[in-house]
Amino acid sequence: MDNVEKRIKELTELLDYHSKKYYVDDAPEISDFEYDKMLRELENLENEYPQYISPLSPTQRVGGKALDKFESVTHTVVMESLQDAFSEAEIYDFDRKVREKISDYTYVVEHKIDGLSVSLEYVNGDFVRGSTRGDGVIGEDVTQNLKTVKSIPLYLTENIPFLEVRGEVYIPRETFKKINEQREELEEPTFANPRNAAAGSLRQLDPKIAAKRGMQIFVFNIQQIEGKEITTHIEGLRYLRKLGFTTILNDDVFSEINSAFTRVKEIGEDRGNLPFDIDGAVIKVNELSKRQELGSTSKFPRWAIAYKYPPEQKETKILDILVQVGRTGVLTPLAVLEPVRVAGTLVSRATLHNQDYIDEKDIKIGDTVIIQKAGDIIPEILEVKKEKRIGREKSFKIPDKCPVCNGNVVREDGESAYRCTSSVCPAQIKRNIIHFVSRDAMDIDGLGPAVISQLLDNNLIKSAADLYYLKAEQIEPLEKMGKKSAENLINAINNSKNNPLSRLITALGIRFVGSKASKVIAKSLKSLDSLMSASRERLTEIEDVGETMADSIISYFKEPHNVDFVEKLRNCGVNFEENDGEVTDNRFNGLTFVLTGTLSSYTRDEASEIIENFGGKTASSVSKKTSYVLAGKDAGSKLDKAISLGVSVISEDEFKSMIL
């Protein structure tokens, strides 16, 4: 294999990997700019050495694959990707090719929103289906989630027979910032960028979760239309606005490429001031008949091109390194920077993740560093300019005492995190309460981070147990409350007293004990008192409870502060006993189920609860120990693995017959 063929193979593998991370997993590891540069290198090599072009090359297909957890949708009009340009010369070359084929045309220029492309279909003016772009030909039906996007009209202002439009779903920067702040409060993984958050939100099986993400949409193209003649793109945008859509920002028309590219540069200079992310600007031919004349290649339309902006990088200094303390006591170092404007905002801080990250990059207080915003949002340090050191820089180490409560700080074997071991650390209290009331724990509706902050700031509570001693008249004066909201919140708090024992165990926030382990423990020990007095040997007898989890449970109940907390919950009437519910038989005892695909009669959580109530357990992956795979519609790789391993596969109807 010569060097060219080897490089093409290497680029193909890299692009396929990062394409899956971006489009399928919603977990990008590199920036769009880095990905596009690799793709450009591959395109150039394939153009120069066409004998090495593979039908499976990333240059020969559009986008990523549809996931298997939604029904698939075949797009009648292919949702094409765009040709990218990284220089002014490429823009003028695009115009030259257009001029060679058509005359008497104009251009429009649009912001290239960095979100998730979707199709919206309307019949007789009613919204009937929404789908993701997928690979351009086959996408995912996400109608229910798209209905939660408030800028998508469910009914048009005209009763048009049929209309399909294309738009970009996105999350505004301020909304994205709040989402990540809430996830940090709960010590959940934060989203890399708004596009990643929008994609993850649209792929939620539960529309209620999607509804909380604050997604918006800009509609930028008519894919199909019946009952109306449209001759230009601008005419189409104006008509879409009349129908009730939010369209891309403006409808200026440019008679030649110079003025069009001037607009591209203006958008680039202003992108930091926009309330949403863009990763470029798009130049399009305005006249629809001219677009038909130009046609498309196998990969993209010849009538449009996207100019991609590189991420902005700036040099600044690390003035200091502070330490934040999280809910579980994790100490996170934070760089205090000499303020510098990056991508339109003033950046003065950047997370340094952990001690290993600091050591790996050799970061010191006083260093000159290069920073950029990951996805134009999250400040990150790219490199240290070591050649600019003057000898006064100071090394940094995580302290051995908590900066908030002076408690001992430890780093356990196999972990990168340092933790404060004090159970009364004030920095952990708010995060502990947020966890206590969260959906998987006590699930107290209306008790979000903002309300909890007010309760703490007004000295109405000092721990989660104090919630059960609140009165409506104490809450009513709080901001955005009032009498009715206060009464509803008190009712929600009181109702949570009757939650199953497993929810309470989850709510305690014992390290390594999640919601799944809590259910197993509750079914085995039957009461919180039994858990508090259980020996290490008794705990490790419980399925899924290992030595590390057992030691963590024992350590938790050795702390006097934690025992006092539990007693306070007992005194106000919180349920400490496992309620087996109405189902009393154990027909699934010893059986393990794996769920895959979409079920028509149950959500996965509901099916899992039924299995567990009958004494069975659920697992996330298929193995030889799996008893049954419950396969719904569009079951994917788990079904394939079950068949290959000879595991019994049951339909939803067969499952229903098993539980009758």
Angle between helices 257-270 and 88-101 (to 10 degrees): 140
CA dihedral for 263, 265, 269, 270, sign (positive or negative): positive
Contact indicator for 450, 498 with CB cutoff of 8 Å? no
Considering the candidates 69, 112, 284, 523, report the single residue annotated as catalytic: 112
Dump the DSSP string for 107-168.
EEEEEEE-SEEEEEEEETTEEEEEEE-TTSSEEEB-HHHHTT-TTS-SB-SS--SEEEEEEE
Closest CA to 592 of 619, 630, 571, 573: 619
Integer angstrom CA distances of residue 417 from 350, 353, 400, 647:
18, 9, 12, 40
**Taking the CB of residue 651, how many other CB atoms lie within 10 A of it?**
14
485 three-class SS:
helix
Contact between residue 201 and residue 138 where contact means Cβ atoms under 8 Å apart? no
Q: Which of 556, 564, 563 is nearest to 539 (CA)?
A: 556
Placement of tokens 């006590």 in the chain: 442
If one counts every other C-beta atom within 10 angstroms of the C-beta of residue 600, the result is 8
The number of C-alpha atoms within 13 Å of 155 and in the hemisphere containing its C-beta is 2
Q: What are phi and psi of 321, to 5 degrees?
A: -130, 120
Could you confirm whether 112 is annotated as catalytic? yes
From CA 175, how far away is CA 289, in angstroms rounded?
Answer: 40
Structure tokens, 568: 């306070």
Which residue matches tokens 């659920």?
618
- Please, are residues 134 and 140 in contact by the beta-carbon 8 Å criterion? yes
Question: How many Å apart are CA 370 and CA 388, to the nearest integer?
Answer: 12
HEC string for 588-657? CCCCEEEEECECCCCCHHHHHHHHHHCCCEEECCCCCCCCEEEECECCCHHHHHHHHHCCEEECHHHHHH
Q: Return the active site residues.
A: 112
